[in-house]
Amino acid sequence: GKPLLSQCYNLMDFEAVAKSVMKRGAWGYYSSAADDEITLRENHEAFHRIWFRPRILVDVKKVDFSTTMLGTKVDIPFYVTATALGKLGHPEGEVILTRAAKKHNVVQMIPTLASCSFDEIVDAAEGDQVQWLQLYVNSDRAITERIVRHAEKRGCKGLFITVDAPQLGRREKDMRTKFTDKGSNVQSGQQTDNSQGAARAISSFIDPGLSWKDIPWFQSITKMPIVLKGVQRVEDVVKAIEYGVQGVVLSNHGGRQLDFARSGVEVLAETVPVLRELGLEGRIEIFVDGGVRRATDIIKALCLGAKGVGIGRPFLYAMSAYGLDGVDRAMQLLRDEMEMAMRLIGCTSVDQLNSSLVDTRNLGSH
Ligand code: FNR
């Protein structure tokens, strides 16, 4: 049988259990990445090339790692990023992530391609719980406009437009396993063809013609803060500021799009000094995702200037292996790690995290 939940001591442990309990096709869809999966591996490894320069003799009895993201107060600087097809991992799907996010007071980003309907996921939220919408832009802009306006009306507090996927990447593991599980279909109402794997099957509506020219249109149809998800170079961060968007996610889609894209945290290290030079520091909220598995990864990103990080696969794996209890424990493990790591680097709040606390001299050597 599978190990007891109490035997999972870190986020990696959930991955091993998920692999052993999930159907082959579902595992193939969640775990796969593009081509040779070099970027997938790099996302994780890039954090291993950043080392700490801790402070000593700081009173760290009380540690508080709450912060704000797009104006929302959160207990810990991560959010549940958008990952499609939640019901491949658990019959209840994305609402499991909604409940766990509530319990730990973090934000959940709702995917366009969720297995649960958008309204089910919003209805599963309680009280003043905050959710964001991840948007794949449809070639039919009337459909996209309806989705965006509906999300705003239902109280979503951020619009994350995915900009790294004009075409879905080639995920060969997914293509080989071609999930066929019933009940996992998305609510997009599209006809799907599974012969190229799950990802291709559900994404044919995405508009490869999306461009910077569309940004003012989004700004005209919504008051939600707009964040570009999947930015990969500082030039585009500067452009995002010029276009007046509120945030960027430095991300390569968990290695699932362009193989040999650099890790988000490396792009972050390139970005913040340039923004400072240009006098643009603080003009935009910067998020990072990809390969975040430890609280020390979160702290490294914050030291380098990120406002917060997104976490994807670990919560899917925890959900697939143990349901809500699994995701709850994964988040609790991150909190425990966070408290200890903050103490050990000599910081009592996130506003004390800065670049003097990390050594990035090896970050650029691949
Ligand atoms: C994703 N990701 C993603 N991103 C997006 O904008 N729309 C989507 O529908 C999906 N779907 C999706 C499914 C699965 C199974 C995975 C693993 C990822 C990318 C996701 O938001 C995020 O960028 C990465 O998952 C972050 O990397 P880690 O935390 O998974 O390493």
CA angle 160, 163, 168 (to 5 degrees): 115
Query: How many angstroms does the Cα of residue 57 sit away from the middle of ligand 1?
Result: 40
pLDDT at 186 > cutoff 70: no
pLDDT at 365: 82
Asked if 218 and 226 touch (Cβ cutoff 8 Å), the reply is: yes
**Cβ atoms within 10 A of the Cβ of 338, count?**
22
Atom of ligand 1 nearest to the CA of 82: 21
Calculate mean pLDDT across residues 29-40: 96
Q: Kindly indicate whether the ipTM for this predicted assembly is greater than 0.90, answering yes or no.
A: yes
Mutating to test ligand 1, I would choose from 81, 121, 133, 334 the residue with most ligand atoms within 8 A of its C-beta, which is 81
> Where on the phi/psi map is residue 277: left (φ > 0), alpha (ψ -120 to 50), or beta?
alpha
Ligand 1 is surrounded, with C-beta below 6 A, by 29-30, 43, 81-84, 111, 113, 134, 162, 229, 251, 253-254, 256, 289-292, 310-313
Alpha-carbon span 283 to 216, nearest angstrom = 18
pLDDT in tens, 103-122: 999 999 999 999 999 999 99
For the chain, the average pLDDT equals 94
**Are 326 and 26 spatial neighbours (Cβ–Cβ below 8 Å)?**
no
| Structure confidence at residue 190 (pLDDT) | 47
For the question of residue 9 being annotated catalytic, the response is no
User: In the annotation, is 253 catalytic?
Assistant: yes
Residue 174 pLDDT level (bands cut at 50, 70, 90):
confident
Report which protein residue has its CA nearest ligand 1's atom 1: 83
| Residues in contact with 67: Cβ distance below 8 Å, sequence separation at least 6, in sequence order | 73, 74, 77, 307, 308, 350
Which residue owns the Cα nearest ligand 1 atom 16?
A: 83
Residues 324, 328, 332: CA angle, nearest 5 degrees: 170
CA nearest ligand 1 atom 3, residue: 83
Q: Which residues of 303-325 are buried (b: 16+ CB within 10 A; e: fewer)?
A: bbbbbbbbbbbbbbbbbbbbbbe
3-state DSSP assignment of residue 178: coil
The pTM assigned to this predicted structure is 0.95
44 is catalytic: no
Cβ-count burial of 355 within 10 angstroms (0-12 exposed, 13-18 middle, 19+ buried)? middle
Query: Worst-scoring range by mean pLDDT, 181-190, 231-240, 261-270?
Result: 181-190
What is the predicted pLDDT for the residue at 179?
61
pLDDT, position 172: 85
Total residue length of the chain = 366
Residue 184 pLDDT greater than 70, yes or no: no
Helix (H, G, I), strand (E, B) or coil at 79: strand
Q: Across residues 37-51, what is the average pLDDT?
A: 98
